[in-house]
Amino acid sequence: MAKFSPDPVASGPAIRGISGGGFLIDAAVYPDGALLTPEAAEPWSAPSIEALELAALGSLLDRHPAPEFLLLGTGPALRRPSPDFARAVDAKGLGLEVMDSRAAARAWGVLRAEGREIVAALMPLDR
């Protein structure tokens, strides 16, 4: 298992490492992906990047205050979501930052330590 050193000043869920193809967040393993807010993490049965639609994120983007952007981890490699998905996120007034899931997991802790109001959707690393 790869472990991360979470920033001690970051609030909310801390991604502590990679477990198999999933994520160790606080004391729980999320093998199929995870959705994160500044307050909580929840399991996510992530679709493929090709099948990703806004509806797959549930209410993740419907927060108050609105997040600055969605941090999208696309699995083992950086892959772009469809233009329709990107337009739907933009239509909600949010930015979209896309990177592979390892990079996104590391960025989560750094950005939260800065107090950034963000949300994340992390696809597993084994797809």
Q: DSSP states of 40-59 as a string? A: -EEE-----GGG--GGGGTT
Assigned token pair, 38: 């500044």
Q: What's residue 11's pLDDT?
A: 74
User: Where do the structural domains in the chain lie, given as residue ranges?
Assistant: 2-122
- Please tell me the total number of residues recorded for the chain in this structure: 127
Q: What's residue 4's pLDDT?
A: 60
Q: What's residue 68's pLDDT?
A: 95
Q: Which helix (H) or strand (E) holds 18?
A: strand 15-19
Q: What's residue 12's pLDDT?
A: 86
Question: Which residues pair with residue 109 across a beta bridge?
Answer: none
Q: What's residue 127's pLDDT?
A: 73
CB 14 within 8 A of CB 23: no
Residue 54's contacts (CB-CB under 8 Å, 6 or more residues apart) are 61, 85, 88, 89, 92
Nearest residue to 25 via CA among 12, 14, 10: 14
**Fold exhibited by the domain 2-122:** Hypothetical Protein Mth938; Chain: A, (3.40.1230)
Q: What is the pLDDT along the chain (127 residues), one digit of tens a residue?
A: 666 655 555 678 999 999 889 999 999 999 999 999 999 999 999 999 999 999 999 999 999 889 999 999 999 999 999 999 999 999 999 999 999 999 999 999 999 999 999 999 999 998 7
Q: What's residue 58's pLDDT?
A: 94
Half-sphere exposure of 18 (CA within 13 A, CB side): 18
Q: Residue type at 44?
A: W
Q: DSSP states of 101-126 as a string? A: HHHHHHHHHHHHHTT---EEEE--TT
